Amino acid sequence: MLTEFGKIFVFILLAGGFVAIALVAASLIRPKRPTKEKLKTYECGEDPVGSPWVRFNIRFYVVALIFIIFDVEVVMLFPWALVYKNFGVYGFIVGAIFLLVLFLGMAYEWRKGDLEWARPKIEPPKMDIKFKPEIAPRPVEEKTVSEVE
Amino acid sequence: MNLYDIIFYLFAAITIVSAFIVVNAKNIVYAAFSLLFTFFGVSGLYVLLGADFIAIVQVMVYIGGILVLLLFGVMLTHKITSVDIKAGSVQTIPAVIIIGIFAALLIGLMYSTHWAVNPAEIPVTTTKSLGKTLVTEYVLIFELLGILLLVAMIGAATIARRDGDK
Amino acid sequence: MYEYLNNIVGNEVITYFVVAALPLFLVVLPFALIAVLAERKVSAHMQDRLGPMRVGYHGILQTVADILKLIQKEDIIIPQADKKLFNLAPFLVFIGSYAVFAALPFSSKFIGTNAEVGIFYILAVSGFVVAGILMGGWASDNKYSLLGAMRSAAQIVSYEIPTAIVVLTLVMITGTLNLGTMSEQQTAYFWNWNILGGAGEGIQQILLIPFMVVAFTILFISTLAEVNRTPFDIPEAESELVAGFHTEYSGMKFAMFFLAEYANMFAVSAIIVSLLFGGYQSPFGYLGNTLGIPALIPFEQLFWFLSKGVFFVFVQMWLRWTLPRLRVDQLMTVCWKYLIPYAVFNLLIVGIITLI
């Protein structure tokens, strides 16, 4: 007899096997006629400009950081939620304090504006000007192009 | 060698091989994704040890949280491929000596410890008993953990906050 | 279930694989087949169009034709792409989506794994999907893919918190993590469902109702965001990111992502159903009991579970044509400033009520 987790592992194996069979089956049927155009990075028909490695908004990282802390908190509360009723009011207060302490941190971040998704300041994109204009173009800061989002 | 042993060695192999790739990959994205398999293997080992709750925590916090954080961190960097992530100073002889000492210690411990052998069966569930000890015996630690997480959260936000943004 | 099939099949190992394959071939694939068509038909009728009409009567064979086309499609991997990770990503995404089905109680007799950690496990395996999405997005070497993957991952992890807190609330009421046990507790009639206060008695049950409605609202919104459906479909916003993280995928690999997406849609609906809407329980009692045929009951339960699940999938499709897409900053505001605080206070109030 497999254990309950063994059964989960069988589900995982089966899902992987299904994808493998589907992909292999398709590879036997489908044509393979690559052309230069097909093998180009898809960019809505334009020739791709620059690397996809644009610098990302730091907010993504902050979201993941805050997420981990809440994740650990929720994980710790699961065993508590199963048994707190056996301990009555005391059991509930133990969890409530834990939750409220964390919520204090959340309130702090809220107040400090860390939960705000930083929106980029809208500035005109820097243009690669080949000709010499009569009026000198307004100097634009370097970093505006690399900042996406 | 029964099924249990085979699965144990399977997970152990996954863990060790992927951990080896983590430290040796030239491409840091490969290193980060190998970590996924290391975490998965470790979680499988936890299951085999009968620690079902810890196994799920491993998947939830490490794969769902820390791996994503690492990947975001990698995506924020500029150079991805062929970054030499090894430290510049490689001192082979001291390293071998230290590793030898630690290996000897570990092996000595392994042989001198009296291992309690349990029948290879998974206990029903550990979550409820964990909850009971959290509310009774380790209640202070549980609350302190809350405060620790609070500190971590404030610290993380402070470090990540961009200077001169506001 | 396992014993019964073991008697038919004869071999233990094959039995496990048969049980693991049943949800795939009896639920996920037929569901995807119908849901893809339903999605197009529902969208069309909501916009006063007809939708696909050519293949079969009123286009009912459209999805079959689509699948036949997808199988024949060329598999394009651009040379700049990272081939290994590019090929691995569909596996991870589909495994993460399908692993959820192991812990769903389709009927009282059919649940893939009876592990005590049930719903907690379901929350955890979604991590594989996030890793797979980031892998596919990175390996494609495409701006749209990478940006879509980053947004997708950030959105899924953010909305996992309100989901988990609401699940925690339900765990507090029911005292179990196993979805099968949870469904069992919400016995036969609909006033015993958790959305109507659960199987508790007296004043406690009545007091719980408004908070369960709040819990349902939060859970529905956040699961909607977790499967990247409109109004939370910024990760694959067609007008700016083409198709999000799977822009570069074609042919069968794309089909796998698509299948995983539909499997996820059903999975989150099934989770809502098991937590709040009685799981596999019938709202009015069982025909099998009335007729005196107990063997009928598991099939009735399967029918109710699937119908309730499909109903919530329909609501998801309905919302797609009702609400406009949110912006990234609005998306994060909804999660961190509304859903999480509400969910936490909901949890605390429910905790106090359960102590009465």
DSSP one-letter string for C70-126 = HHHS-----TTS-HHHHHHHHHHHHHHHHHGGGG-EEETTEES---TTHHHHHHHHH
CA distance A29 to chain B (A): 31
Angle at B105 (CA atoms; ends B100, B111), nearest 5 degrees: 125
Q: How many CA atoms lie within 13 A of C232 on its CB side?
A: 24
Domain-embedded: residue B165:
no
Inter-chain residue contact A30 with C351, CB threshold 8 Å: no
Q: Is C134 on the interface with B (CB under 8 A)?
A: yes
Mean of the per-residue pLDDT values of chain B:
81
Measured CA to CA, the distance from residue B39 to residue B55 in angstroms comes to 10
pTM value is 0.84
- What confidence tier does B86 reach under pLDDT thresholds 50, 70, 90? low
Inform me whether the pLDDT recorded for B81 exceeds 60: no
Question: Contacts of residue A4 in chain C, CB cutoff 8 Å?
Answer: 113-116
Question: For residue C153, which of A130, B155, B73 has the smallest C-alpha distance?
Answer: B73
Q: Helices in C140-193 by DSSP H: which ranges?
A: 143-174, 179-185
What is the per-residue burial (b if ≥16 Cβ within 10 Å, else e) of C300-329?
bbbebbbebbbebbeebbebbeeeebbebe
- Residues listed for chain A: 149
Inter-chain residue contact C134 with B68, CB threshold 8 Å: yes
Structure-token pair, residue C99: 């692993």
- What confidence tier does B99 reach under pLDDT thresholds 50, 70, 90? very high
Q: How many CA atoms lie within 13 A of B87 on its CB side?
A: 4
- Look up the CATH number of the domain holding residue B72: 1.20.120.1200
Residue type, B146: G
Question: For residue A84, which of A93, A97, A72 has the smallest C-alpha distance?
Answer: A93
Domain-embedded: residue B51:
yes
Burial (Cβ within 10 Å: 0-12, 13-18, ≥19) of residue A124: exposed
Q: Is A10 on the interface with C (CB under 8 A)?
A: yes
Inform me whether the pLDDT recorded for B30 exceeds 70: yes
Cα C56 → chain centroid: 29
pLDDT score at B105: 94
Residue of chain C nearest A22, judged by CA positions: C252
Domain-embedded: residue B52:
yes
Angle at C225 (CA atoms; ends C221, C226), nearest 5 degrees: 115
Number of domains observed in the structure of chain B: 1
- Show the beta-strand stretches assigned E in chain C: 105-107, 110-111
Measured CA to CA, the distance from residue A12 to residue A10 in angstroms comes to 5
Measured CA to CA, the distance from residue A7 to residue C113 in angstroms comes to 6
Residue of chain A nearest C103, judged by CA positions: A8
Measured CA to CA, the distance from residue C157 to residue B103 in angstroms comes to 39
Model confidence pLDDT, tens digit, residues A42-69: 766 666 666 666 666 667 777 788 888 8
Model confidence pLDDT, tens digit, residues B106-154: 999 988 887 777 665 555 667 788 888 888 888 888 888 888 988 888 8
Q: What torsion do the CA atoms of B59, B36, C22, C283 make, to the nearest 10 degrees? A: 30
Domain-embedded: residue B166:
no
Instruction: Give the bridge partners for C111, in sequence order.
Output: C105
Residue type, A99: L
C76, C172, C256 member nearest A39 (Cβ): C76
> Where is mean pLDDT largest: B70-74, B89-93, C55-59?
B70-74
Question: Contacts of residue B72 in chain C, CB cutoff 8 Å?
Answer: 150, 153-154
Inform me whether the pLDDT recorded for A121 exceeds 70: no
The percentage of chain C sitting over the pLDDT mark of 70, rounded to a whole number, equals 96
Structure-token pair, residue B120: 């290879």
Inform me whether the pLDDT recorded for A149 exceeds 50: no
Q: Other C-beta atoms within 10 Å of C352: how many? A: 12
> Where is mean pLDDT largest: B108-117, C42-51, C205-214, C307-316?
C307-316
A55, A87, A104 member nearest B135 (Cβ): A87
Model confidence pLDDT, tens digit, residues C102-130: 888 888 777 877 778 888 888 888 888 88
Structure-token pair, residue C313: 């999938």
Measured CA to CA, the distance from residue C150 to residue C158 in angstroms comes to 12
Mean of the per-residue pLDDT values of chain A:
75
Inter-chain residue contact C142 with A11, CB threshold 8 Å: no
Among residues 58-87 of chain A, which lie with CB inside 8 Å of chain B?
Answer: 58, 60-62, 64-69, 71-73, 75-76, 78-84, 86-87
- Residues listed for chain B: 166
Q: Helices in A30-87 by DSSP H: which ranges?
A: 59-83
Inter-chain residue contact C153 with B52, CB threshold 8 Å: no
Among residues 88-117 of chain A, which lie with CB inside 8 Å of chain B?
Answer: 90-91, 94, 97-99, 101-102, 104-106, 108-109, 112-114
Q: Provide long-range contacts, Cβ within 8 A and 24+ apart, for C261-264.
A: C261/C97, C261/C227, C261/C228, C262/C28, C262/C31, C262/C32, C262/C35, C262/C36, C263/C28, C263/C31, C263/C32, C263/C94, C263/C97, C263/C98, C263/C100, C263/C101, C264/C97, C264/C100, C264/C129, C264/C226, C264/C227
Helix (H) or strand (E) holding C38: helix C29-46
Measured CA to CA, the distance from residue A100 to residue B150 in angstroms comes to 10
What would the mean pLDDT of C281-308 be, rounded to a whole number? 80
Among residues 75-114 of chain C, which lie with CB inside 8 Å of chain B?
Answer: 82, 85, 92
Which of the following CATH numbers is that of domain A4-120: 2.60.40.10, 1.10.150.670, 3.40.50.1100, 1.20.58.1610?
Answer: 1.20.58.1610
Inform me whether the pLDDT recorded for C234 exceeds 80: no
pLDDT score at C199: 66
Measured CA to CA, the distance from residue B39 to residue B19 in angstroms comes to 9
Question: Contacts of residue C115 in chain A, CB cutoff 8 Å?
Answer: 4-5, 7-8
* Cβ neighbours for C110, distance < 8 A, ≥ 6 positions apart: C1, C22, C298, C302
Domain-embedded: residue B23:
yes
Measured CA to CA, the distance from residue C76 to residue A33 in angstroms comes to 9
pLDDT score at A146: 47
Domain span at residue B147?
A: 3-160
Inform me whether the pLDDT recorded for A104 exceeds 60: yes
